[in-house]
Amino acid sequence: MSRAVPPRPGAAASKARLAEILRVDQAGELAAVHIYRGQAAVMRAAPGRERIADQLREMEGHEQVHLTRFNELLTERGVRPTLMSPIWRAAAFALGAGTALLGDKAAHACTEAVETVIEKHYAGQIEELKDRDPALAAELSQFRDDELAHRDLAVEEGAHEATAYPLLTAVIQAGCRAAIKISEKI
């Protein structure tokens, strides 16, 4: 379970923590866009998978809205994006394409795994920011609702039926948690 990070003392520390939050969230949305692009590329090429490709493109659109907003916030608040962006972009596309190549259920399991981690991550940030930056907390709440809808759709579409579901989701979630920690700092 994610717990909120207590605010550090002093204005500079609060600004540094906000920079971490924005940097990691921008990186996460960048990765989400590329996961869905990878999945959609595979599904578009597979006969009979147009419905799933359309779902993936729609979810990618939601993530692109989030990414655009975080790009604006980084600029407005003078925060640099993570230096890991090129790596995350490539890794995310590969994760999306790779899980889609394993089949519909594995692609959905990937979505569920990622969105579960992100939902908890956002929940901790919302709790941390609700008094310090209520406007940002409200935006994160809206984004979190989109992530929950993606997760729920993935479950409805059979994520739990994927081959090696427990292992697949555990590995993806561990990777997401590691990427979060790295992106906060680098």
- Every domain of the chain and the residues it spans: 18-184
Taking residues 14-18, report their average pLDDT. 86
Q: Where residue 4 falls among pLDDT bands split at 50, 70, 90?
A: low
The residue with greater pLDDT, 7 or 174, is 174
CA atoms within 13 A on the CB side of 66: 30
Does the annotation list 121 as a binding residue?
no
Rg of the chain over Cα atoms, rounded to whole angstroms, equals 16
Unique residue bearing structure tokens 């569920």:
112
CATH number of the domain located at residue range(s) 18-184 in this protein: 1.20.1260
Predicted structure pTM score: 0.86
**110 within 8 A of 96, measured Cβ to Cβ:** yes
Q: Is the pLDDT of residue 185 over 90?
A: no
Please state which of the ranges 8-17, 79-88, 157-166 shows the lowest mean pLDDT: 8-17
Which SS3 state, helix, strand or coil, does residue 98 take?
helix
Contacts of 52 (CB under 8 A, 6+ apart): 43, 104, 107, 157
Does the annotation list 160 as a binding residue?
no
As a whole number of angstroms, the distance between CA 74 and CA 81 comes to 7
pLDDT digits (tens, 9 = 90+) for 74-99: 999 999 999 999 999 999 999 999 99
Q: What angle is formed at CA 100 by the lines to CA 97 and CA 105, rounded to 5 degrees?
A: 155
Unique residue bearing structure tokens 């006969």:
47
As a whole number of angstroms, the distance between CA 101 and CA 95 comes to 10
As a whole number of angstroms, the distance between CA 48 and CA 112 comes to 22
pLDDT given for residue 1 in this prediction: 47
As a whole number of angstroms, the distance between CA 28 and CA 70 comes to 10
Q: What is the mean pLDDT of the chain?
A: 89
Does the annotation list 150 as a binding residue?
yes
Does the annotation list 20 as a binding residue?
no
pLDDT digits (tens, 9 = 90+) for 25-84: 999 999 999 999 999 999 888 888 888 888 889 888 999 999 999 999 999 999 999 999
Does the annotation list 58 as a binding residue?
no
Does the annotation list 127 as a binding residue?
no
Report CA 88 to chain centroid distance, whole Å.
11
Q: Cα dihedral angle (95, 140, 149, 102), rounded to 10 degrees?
A: 0
Q: Where residue 3 falls among pLDDT bands split at 50, 70, 90?
A: low
Q: Is the pLDDT of residue 11 over 80?
A: no
Terminal alpha carbon distance of the chain:
24
